[in-house]
Structure 1
Amino acid sequence: MSQQQHSQFALFGTRRFLPLFVTQFFGAFNDNLFKNAMLVMVVFHGLSLSGIDSKTLVSAAAGVFILPFFLFSAISGQLAERFDKAILAQRVKQLEILIMLAAGHGFWQHNAAVLMGCLFMMGVHSALFGPLKYSVLPQYLKPNELMGGNGLIEGGTFVAILLGQIAGTLIVQHQPHGETLIVWACLGVAIIGWLASRKMPSAPAPAANLKISWNILAETFKIIGQARANKTVFNSLLGLSWFWFLGSIYLIYLPVMASEILHGDPTVYTLLITLFSVGIGVGSVLCEKLSGHRVELGLVPFGSIGLSLFGIDLYFALQNMPTGPFDVSGFLANHAHWRVMIDLALLGVFGGFYTVPLYALIQTRADKTFVSRAIAANNILNSLFMVVASVMGIVLIKLGMSVPGLLLTVALLNVVVALYIYSLIPEFLMRFLVWIMTHLLYRVRSQGLQNIPEEGPVVLVCNHVSFMDALILAGAVRRPVRFIMDHRIFKIPLLKFIFKTAGAIPIAPAKEDPTLKTKAFDRAAQYLQEGEVLCIFPEGGITRNGEIQTFRPGIDEIIRRTPVPVIPMALQGLWGSFFSRKDGAAMMKMPRRAFSKIGFVVGTPLAPEEVTRQRLEDEVRKLRGDWQ
C-alpha cells in the first residue's frame, strides 16, 4: 500500500468519510455564521429585545446557545444509539433548514425574539448532531483510520467555526443588502449540509432495542453515571471537558487581550483567533502522523505539557507591550508581537494533540452500544465546564486580577489537572514515555502489523536483542500488549513504571524463583482468557552475540494451557545499539546517533495445533533475515 493510501487525506476520496465531513463542516460553519451575524446586528445595528442593552443581550445569547447541550444531549445520545445515524443526520439537517427559514424572517423583520429562538434551536441542532458525528466514526472507519478521521473532523470543525465567524461579520455588514445576503447564505449552507448528509452510508443502530427515556434530568444523571463505570472513558471525558474550560477562557478574553493589552483593532483580534483556530486544526491533523495510524495515548500528556508551557510563556510575552493603536499590518510589523502570535498558534497545535487521541480513546474503549451516550455525556460536561470557566473568569477579574494573570492561572491549573488525571490513569503517562523514547531514538519501519487481529487472544513471539525491545513493540502494536519478561529487566528504574503500568509479567527461572515462574504462567493464562495480547521472548534473555538463541519451553507451556493463535515477529537493526550487549554490557558504551533506522516484521498467525518451538524459531529467523 502506498504512502498516499495510508494518508488520512485519502479519506476525502471515500463515501464513508467525505459526506460526514462536509455535513459536520457546514453545520459548524452555519452555527457561527448565523450567531455572529445576529451579534453584529445587536452590537452595531441597534437590534434589541424588550429594552435589554446590547452587552446583556450578547451575554444572554451565549447562554441561550449552550443551554440545549444541557437539556438535550442525553436524549440525543439515546437517539444516536437507537436509530441509523445516517438517517438521523438527514433529519437533523432538515431541522436546520427549517430553523434557517425562521431565521430569515427574523433578519428581514429585525425581530430579536425570533432570532434568539432560532439561536436556541441551532443549539438544539448542534446538541443532536454532536454525539452522532463522533460515534459514527468507528462504524465508518477502520481502527488504523480513527486517529486520522478524528483529526480531520476536529481540525475541520475549528476552521469552520473561524470561517463562520468571519463570514457572519462581513456579510451582515455589507450595505445595503446585508440582511438579505445573510438569509440566503444561512439557508444555502443548511441545504448543502442536508445534501451531504443524504450521501452518508448507512450506519445501523448499535442498540436498536434501546427504550428512549424522555426524562431529561434523570437521563442526564444516568448516562454520566454509566460513563463513570468505565474509569478510562470517564477520565477521558473529564480531560476533554478541561480542555473546553481552558479554551473558553482564551476565547472569552482574547478580544480584551487584543484591544486593551495589545492595543489592536478588530483586525488584530481576527488575526489572533485565526492563529489559535488554525493551530488546533494543524495539531489535530498532525496527530495521525505522530501516532503512526494508531490510537496513541502518549500524545495526550505531550499536548498538556505544550498547553502549560506556551500558556505560561504567553503571560510573560504580554508584559510591556508597545502602545498602539495597531491595525493588522502595524501589528505584524512590530517584532514584539511575534512571541504572542507564536504562543497562541502553538497553544492551538498542542490543543489538537491533546483532544484528538481522547476522542479516539472514547470511541475504542466505550462499549459499542454506549459510544453515542458517552459523547453526549461529554457534551454535557463540556457545557458545564465552560459555564464554570466563565464564572471563574468574571470573579477573578472582579477581584482585580489582570487578563494575563488569569491566563497564567489557568495554565498553572492545567499542570495540576494533568498530574491528577495521569495519577488516576497511569496508562497516559506510560504511553507518553514509550512514545518519546521510541520516537527520539529510532525510526521504526513496520511490516505486517495488519496480521495482528484487532480483538481476541493471541500470543506474539519475538527475538530479544536489547533492553528496548518491549518498548518498541508496545509503541508499534496498536493493541495493548502484556509482556512476559525477565524479572531483572522488569525492575530497571523508570522502565519498571512503564512495564508495571502496561501489565507486564515478571518471570524468573524455576531454579531461581519457582513461585514467581508459576505466578507468571498463571497470569499469562488469565490474560489470554480475557482476550488480551500476550508477548513472550522465547530465547529467555537478550542475545550476547547478535544471533537468535534456541527457543525455550515456556511458549509450549503457554499454548498447552491456553490454545490460541501465535504470531511470529522479528526485530531488525537493534544489534549494536546502546541498549544491546554488542561490545560489552548494555548501556555502558557510547550511544549511536538518534533516529536510527530499525525494522519490525510481523509474520502470519499460526493455529495453536501448528505451534512448536522449532517452527516458531525458524519463522522468526526467516522474518529477521540478515539484518541484525
Structure 2
Amino acid sequence: MSAPLQPSHPSGSQQPDAETLQTQQCSPQEANQFQLLRQRRFAPFFWTQFAGAANDNLFKFALTVMVTYQLQVSWLPAGLAGLVIGAVFILPFLLFSATAGQMADKYEHSLLFQRLKLLEIGIMAVAAIAFWQSWVALLLACVFLMGVQSTFFGPAKYAYLPQQLRPAELTGGNGMVEMGTFVAIVLGSLAGAALVESAAFGRLPVALACLAVAALGYASSMRIPTSPATDADLRIDWNPLRVTWANLRLAHGNTVVFRSLLGISWMWFIGSVLMSQFPAIAKEVLHGSPPVASLLLTVFALGIGIGSLLCEVLSRRQVEIGLVPVGALGMSLFLADLYFATRGLPRPDGLLSVAQFLGQGAHWRVMTDLLLLCLCTGLYSVPMYALVQMRAAPTHRARIIAANNIMNALFMVASALIAGALLQAGLSIPQLFLALAVANTIVAGYIFLLVPEYLLRFIAWVLTHLAYRFRVDGREHIPASGPAVLACNHVSFVDAILLMAASPRPIRFIMDAGIFRKPVLGWVFRMARAIPIAPQRDDPAAFEAAFEKAAQVLRNGDLLGIFPEGSITRDGQLQRFRKGLNRILHTAAEEGLQVPVVPMALSNLWGSFFSRIEMRGGRNVAMVRPFRRGIFSHVGLHIGAAVPGSAATPAFLQQRVQALLEKSSATSDSSGSLP
C-alpha cells in the first residue's frame, strides 16, 4: 500500500531524485524533444498521459459505436449518442477544474498521478462489468467518472512540465505531449471501434483492453520522479463556483497569460468542430465509407503531431510565440481552401472505400488541406501552452491551467451549439469551413492587437529566419527572472528586433527618438513600448521621462535593453559607451534593487541592408541595396556573463563587449563561419 497523499513543503523537502537532477543539469544540446523520451524526468510522465488519453477515447468511442450500431436504447437515440457521451465527459471539467487546480498546487505531483491512475483502474473495472452486461446507464456514469479523473489530471500534468524541464526544453516537451495526446486519441478511437465490432458476446475485448491500458498507465506513473508542491499551505475551497470565479480572476491578472488562455480555448473551439464533424464530412461531403472517417481522423492527428514536433526546430529551443501568428495564418488559409476543395464534389453511386477514395485526385487536396491545417494548429497551440507555463507564477500555475480547462470546456460546448445552429440554419459543411476561416482571422487579429508581443516575436522570427541566419551564443546568461539590463553594441536599425528574437522574456528598449520617425520601424517599436530618448539639450522633458520609465521597468522586475553607444555605428567599429547607464543603475541601487548587467555583442551585421554604408559622395545611409550581402547572411549575437550593477561602469562594459566581438571574430576566422 502506497503512502497517503500528503502536501509537500514548498521549500523542497521532497526533492527530485539524483537521476532527475543529473538530467536537469545537462547542457541544452544533450536533451532534445526525442531524447527526453529516454530520461526518467519525462518518459514515465509521457507514457502515463499517453495511456490516459488513449483509454479515454478507446472507452468513449467503443461505447458510442455500441449504442449507435448494436443496441436499441429507448432513452438514448443512436443519432445523439456521440453528442451525449461527449457532453457527459466534458461536464466534470466545468464542475471540478477549479478544485483540481487547487489540489495540483497543494500536493506533490507524482503521488497525485499515481492516485488518479488507481482511480482509473477502479472505474475501468466497473466499466468492464457494464460492458459485459450491456448496462448503458452505468457506462455513462463511468464516462462521467473518467471525465472527473481527466479533470484532476490536467492541471497537474501542465504544472509538472515546467518543474522538470528547463525553459529551453519547454517548447519541445509540450510539443511531445501534444503530439502524444492526439496520437493517443486516434489510436484509442480506432481501437475502440475495432474491438467493439469484433466482440460478438458481451464486448469482452473492450472491457479487457480498457483494464489493460489503465494498468499500464498506473505502472508507468510509479516511475514518475518526485515533483514538490508549489503551494503546500494552500487551503482548498470546496465551493466550485467561488473557486472557479477566483481562478478566472487569477488568470485575468496576467494580461499575456489570460489572452493566451483565450487563444488556446479558441483552438479547442475549432478542433472540436472538426472532430465532431468527421463522420458527417466523410459521408455527406466526401461520400466515403466509415473507414474514410478513420482515415481523416488519422490525418488530423498526424498533422497535429508534425506541427507540435516542428515547434522546437523552428523556435531554436526556446519558447517562441512568434510561431503563433504563423499557425493562425495557416489555419485560416487552409480552412478557406477546405471550403473550395470540398464544395461540389461529384456524388458516386455508393459510399467509397478507402482505396476508391484515395484514387481520386480531388480527395488528395482535401487531405493535404486537413494535414496542413492541423500542422498549423500545432504551431499555434504549443508555444501558447509553453508561454502560459513559463509566465504563470509557480505558486498558482496549476490553478491557471485549471482556469484554462474551464475556458476550454466552455468554448467546446459553445462550438457544438454554434456549429449545430449554423447547420440547422442551412449552412453546408463546406460553408462551415469558410465561416471558421473568417472567424479565426478575426479572433486571431483581435488577440494579436491586444497582445502585441505575439506580432513582435513574429516579426523577429521572420527576420531571423528569412533575412538572416541568426546564431545566438550564451543565451543562458539572460536571467530567467528578475530585473536586468541588457547592454549591446549598436550596428543597425534592427538590433532591438534581433535581441527580442534571442530573449525568452520581453525586453523594453531605450532608443533614439529619431528611429520612431521611420515609417515601418517606428510602428514596430511603438508597439514594443520602446522608450524614446532625445538629447537633453534638444528635449529636456523627454530626456528625464526616458530615465524615469527605465527605472520603472526595473522596478517591475523586467528586462531593460540599452545601446550604450547612443547611436548606430557609422564605420562598423565599437564607439565609446556613454554615462546614461550609470544613472539608471544608480537609481536602481538607491531603491535597493540588485540589477545585473548582461553584455552583448552583435557580430557580422555591419554591411547588411539594415546597417549604414558609405555611398558615393560620402553619404552614410542605411536600407539601400537590399541584397548587397545576398540572402540568409550569417549574423550572430554573443552574450557574456552578467556583471554586477555596482561594477558595470561604461568603460568596463565597453571592454566586455569588445572582448565578445574579438572572440567571435577569432572563432569565425578559424572555422570559416559564425560559431
Normalised to the residue count of structure 2, the TM-score between the two structures is 0.90
Shift of residue 3, structure 1, vs aligned partner:
7.9
Q: Counterpart of 1:390?
A: 416
Q: Counterpart of 1:589?
A: 625
Contact 2:108–2:227 at 8 Å: present in 1 too?
A: yes
Q: After superposition, where does 1:83-98 map in structure 2 within 5 Å? A: 83-98=107-122
Matched, 1:160 2:184: yes
Q: Counterpart of 1:212?
A: 236
Shift of residue 559, structure 1, vs aligned partner:
2.5
Amino acid aligned to 1:579: F
Shift of residue 218, structure 1, vs aligned partner:
2.3
Amino acid aligned to 1:565: P
- Of 485, 501, 505, the residue aligned with 1:479 is 505
Matched, 1:615 2:652: yes
Q: Counterpart of 1:259?
A: 283
Instruction: Flag structure 1 segments of 5+ consecutive residues without an equivalent.
Output: none
- Of 532, 541, 546, the residue aligned with 1:515 is 541
Q: State the distance in 2 between where 1:469 and 1:139 align.
A: 33
SS of the counterpart of 1:562?
A: helix
Q: Counterpart of 1:321?
A: 345
Q: State the distance in 1 between where 2:174 and 2:523 align.
A: 30
Shift of residue 6, structure 1, vs aligned partner:
4.8
Q: State the distance in 1 between where 2:146 and 2:467 align.
A: 49
SS of the counterpart of 2:485?
A: strand
Q: State the distance in 2 between where 1:498 and 1:53 align.
A: 56
Q: Counterpart of 1:544?
A: 570
Q: State the distance in 1 between where 2:581 and 2:76 align.
A: 76
Shift of residue 583, structure 1, vs aligned partner:
3.3
Q: 495-504 or 382-391: which moved more?
A: 495-504
Q: After superposition, where does 1:394-409 map in structure 2 within 5 Å? A: 394-409=420-435
Matched, 1:7 2:36: no
Contact 1:25–1:156 at 8 Å: present in 2 too?
A: yes
Q: Counterpart of 1:301?
A: 325
Q: Counterpart of 1:575?
A: 606
Q: Counterpart of 2:378?
A: 352
Matched, 1:193 2:217: yes
Q: Counterpart of 2:596?
A: 565
Q: Counterpart of 2:4?
A: none
Q: Counterpart of 1:332?
A: 358
Contact 2:508–2:528 at 8 Å: present in 1 too?
A: yes
Q: Counterpart of 2:157?
A: 133
Shift of residue 49, structure 1, vs aligned partner:
4.1
Q: State the distance in 1 between where 2:224 and 2:482 align.
A: 30
Moved over 6 A (4+): none
Shift of residue 4, structure 1, vs aligned partner:
5.3
Contact 1:308–1:414 at 8 Å: present in 2 too?
A: yes
- Of 61, 73, 95, the residue aligned with 1:36 is 61
Q: 51-60 or 521-530: which moved more?
A: 51-60
Matched, 1:488 2:525: no
SS of the counterpart of 2:193?
A: helix
- Of 523, 529, 553, the residue aligned with 1:503 is 529
Contact 1:172–1:178 at 8 Å: present in 2 too?
A: no
CA 1:623–1:197 in structure 2 vs 1: closer, same or farther (change >3 Å)? same
Contact 1:322–1:336 at 8 Å: present in 2 too?
A: no
Contact 2:62–2:195 at 8 Å: present in 1 too?
A: yes
Shift of residue 51, structure 1, vs aligned partner:
4.7
Q: State the distance in 1 between where 2:182 and 2:147 align.
A: 17
Cα root mean square deviation, aligned: 1.8
Q: Counterpart of 1:74?
A: 98
CA 1:505–1:328 in structure 2 vs 1: closer, same or farther (change >3 Å)? same
Q: 70-79 or 323-332: which moved more?
A: 323-332
CA 1:330–1:550 in structure 2 vs 1: closer, same or farther (change >3 Å)? same
Contact 2:155–2:402 at 8 Å: present in 1 too?
A: yes
Shift of residue 570, structure 1, vs aligned partner:
0.8
Q: Counterpart of 1:554?
A: 580
SS of the counterpart of 1:93?
A: helix
Q: 240-249 or 520-529: which moved more?
A: 520-529
Aligned length: 627
Contact 2:131–2:202 at 8 Å: present in 1 too?
A: no
Shift of residue 175, structure 1, vs aligned partner:
4.5
Shift of residue 239, structure 1, vs aligned partner:
1.2
Shift of residue 550, structure 1, vs aligned partner:
1.6
Contact 2:50–2:180 at 8 Å: present in 1 too?
A: yes
Cα deviation digits, residues 383-420 of structure 1 (max 9, x gap): 11111111112211111111111121111111111122
Contact 1:49–1:113 at 8 Å: present in 2 too?
A: no
SS of the counterpart of 1:316?
A: helix
Q: Counterpart of 2:198?
A: 174
Q: State the distance in 2 between where 1:124 and 1:537 align.
A: 53
Contact 1:235–1:421 at 8 Å: present in 2 too?
A: yes
Q: 608-617 or 258-267: which moved more?
A: 608-617
CA 1:7–1:134 in structure 2 vs 1: closer, same or farther (change >3 Å)? same
Contact 2:69–2:78 at 8 Å: present in 1 too?
A: no
Amino acid aligned to 2:38: G
Amino acid aligned to 2:372: L
Contact 1:487–1:507 at 8 Å: present in 2 too?
A: yes
CA 1:278–1:453 in structure 2 vs 1: closer, same or farther (change >3 Å)? same
Contact 2:101–2:399 at 8 Å: present in 1 too?
A: yes
Percent identical among aligned pairs is: 49
SS of the counterpart of 1:369?
A: helix
Q: Counterpart of 2:47?
A: 22
Shift of residue 486, structure 1, vs aligned partner:
1.1
- Of 166, 169, 172, the residue aligned with 1:148 is 172
SS of the counterpart of 1:539?
A: coil
Q: After superposition, where does 1:436-475 map in structure 2 within 5 Å? A: 436-475=462-501
Matched, 1:366 2:392: yes
Q: State the distance in 1 between where 2:503 and 2:392 align.
A: 20
Q: 192-201 or 582-591: which moved more?
A: 582-591
Q: State the distance in 1 between where 2:120 and 2:506 align.
A: 42
Q: State the distance in 2 between where 1:60 and 1:450 align.
A: 50
Q: State the distance in 2 between where 1:177 and 1:544 align.
A: 84
Q: Counterpart of 2:11?
A: none
Cα deviation digits, residues 152-193 of structure 1 (max 9, x gap): 111110110011001111122225468222222111111111
Contact 1:546–1:582 at 8 Å: present in 2 too?
A: no
Shift of residue 611, structure 1, vs aligned partner:
2.2
Shift of residue 50, structure 1, vs aligned partner:
4.9
Cα deviation digits, residues 442-495 of structure 1 (max 9, x gap): 111111111122112222211111111111111011221121111112332232
SS of the counterpart of 1:560?
A: helix
Q: Counterpart of 1:412?
A: 438
SS of the counterpart of 2:367?
A: helix
Q: Counterpart of 1:290?
A: 314
Q: 611-620 or 23-32: which moved more?
A: 611-620
Amino acid aligned to 1:586: A
CA 1:263–1:49 in structure 2 vs 1: closer, same or farther (change >3 Å)? closer
CA 1:2–1:334 in structure 2 vs 1: closer, same or farther (change >3 Å)? farther
Amino acid aligned to 1:103: A
Cα deviation digits, residues 508-550 of structure 1 (max 9, x gap): 2222222222221222222122222112111111111111112
Q: 611-620 or 25-34: which moved more?
A: 611-620
Q: Counterpart of 1:528?
A: 554
Q: State the distance in 2 between where 1:526 and 1:414 align.
A: 36
Q: State the distance in 2 between where 1:89 and 1:182 align.
A: 24
Amino acid aligned to 2:396: F
Normalised to the residue count of structure 1, the TM-score between the two structures is 0.96
